Chain A
């Protein structure tokens, strides 16, 4: 199921992505280069709560961007550089959503998303 994210991860400027459950549990993570802190050690519940009602969120910071997309199973969080083909990423997410919906109807997410320790 990691192939689902391949197009997004290979997009120029994308540095990583995470998938959170609607409760804020980290389901999947993949980074192109190591991150300073392990996201699994972080409590993301307040952050996920703050996304309540948001379908799509594009956050611009001084040194990068975070694009967040609500899916059937939670929130897809994509880390990227400031200048990226954002429209491409949005379209790739559009394509991804039905596939994630299908994975929801599967038995267990663990079958598809293998947590990768970094």
Chain B
């Protein structure tokens, strides 16, 4: 995903020299130009900017004012300061104001490029996905109660948007000059996107009051075509429990899962079953080969009406769960 870097400097020769110099990085980031802070604000409203590089001394609105504005309204956007009047105090002020980088003029374009690339890399530290269908994208939103910043690019249109999540709650969205719920509607209506995930969310204020579900439904309503329906899964033969009575340990485990996750844990049954023993031995050999230590837990999706969680032991403990269960949470509870 090509990221937008906004260069702000009243020295137009400098701006164009930088733009020219950054041409070799055009597969990593695109350059937008602004000649002062006010022009930069306009660009920030109209575009999804990933990084701002700004001079300090400028007419109309200087670099410090711009930095303060960005920290207040776009705290997710990192700022690198470049200045021809560098003093230690100024550098300290810039960092105090929230700048992630500070470079004194004159500098090598490569040094600035390196700093830009390093900063931009953080945008996708949580992973990237390409050509995600809307169905998958919704899964992504529901998957984990994550605190993250998701940057998206619509395919094939190339529109860019950004979503802010804190503990799974959507705080805000931005796309073009839209913000909040209207931006969320727009983003959720995109059929396919490329996206990158940044761990953490710089926003603190919640600008979207609605739950995610109504937003998605509204976006769906606005969409012409419906998301493709999932093909029903084939139901394979159920595995019999073997009639082994759960021991106290199993009961306690079941109780713990139900207590910690609640009724949505999707736990169906819990029993011991020798049927799985030989498979568990084979699966644990893969861990031996890669020196991963003992096999502690396995989650199996066979396409049945239930999925299986295996806990190795003298007899394999089997927990059958609803395939829609919060599997990662359950695995975490059992691992603890």
Using a CB–CB distance below 8 Å, which chain A residues touch chain B? 7, 10-12, 35-37, 39, 42, 46-47, 49-50, 53-66, 77, 79, 85-88, 91-92, 94-95
Contacts and interface: CB of A to CB of B under 8 A. Distances in A.
Given A49-B282, A50-B279, A95-B129, A63 B291 contact: yes
B198 to A, nearest CB: 12
Contacts of B286: 47, 59, 66, 77
A54 B302 contact: yes
B126 A85 contact: yes
Nearest to B281: A50
A97 to B, nearest CB: 11
Chain A at the B interface: SS class: mixed
Given A60-B298, A62-B292, A91-B139, A46 B282 contact: yes
B328 A61 contact: no
Interface stretch (B5-13, B25-33, B130-138, B174-182): B130-138
Chain B interface size range: 35 or more
Contact of A61 (B131, B279, B292): B292
A91 B291 contact: no
Contact of B301 (A55, A63, A95): A55
Contact of B290 (A10, A64, A85): A64
Given A50-B278, A61-B287, A95-B130, A12 B125 contact: yes
A7 B130 contact: yes
A87 to B, nearest CB: 4
23 contacts: A7-B129, A11-B127, A12-B126, A36-B291, A47-B285, A54-B300, A54-B301, A55-B303, A57-B298, A59-B283, A59-B297, A59-B299, A61-B287, A61-B296, A62-B292, A63-B293, A64-B290, A66-B286, A91-B129, A91-B132, A91-B143, A95-B129, A95-B136
B227 to A, nearest CB: 14
A88 B298 contact: no
B298 A87 contact: no
B65 interface: no
Contact of A47 (B127, B282, B302, B328): B282
Contacts of B291: 36, 63
B289 A63 contact: no
> Which A-B residue pairs are the 8 nearest by beta carbons?
A62-B293, A50-B282, A61-B292, A56-B301, A87-B143, A60-B297, A58-B299, A64-B292
B51 to A, nearest CB: 20
B293 A60 contact: no
- The winner among B128, B290, B331 for most chain A CB atoms within 10 A is B290
B197 interface: yes
Nearest to B290: A79
B136 A87 contact: no
A58 B132 contact: no
B236 interface: yes
Contact of A91 (B136, B287, B300, B331): B136
Contact of A12 (B127, B131, B236, B285): B127
A55 to B, nearest CB: 5
A57 B293 contact: no
B117 interface: no
B90 interface: no
A91 B126 CA distance: 13
A13 B304 CA distance: 30
A88 B128 CA distance: 8
B140 interface: yes
B294 interface: yes
Given A12-B126, A47-B282, A66-B292, A60 B140 contact: no
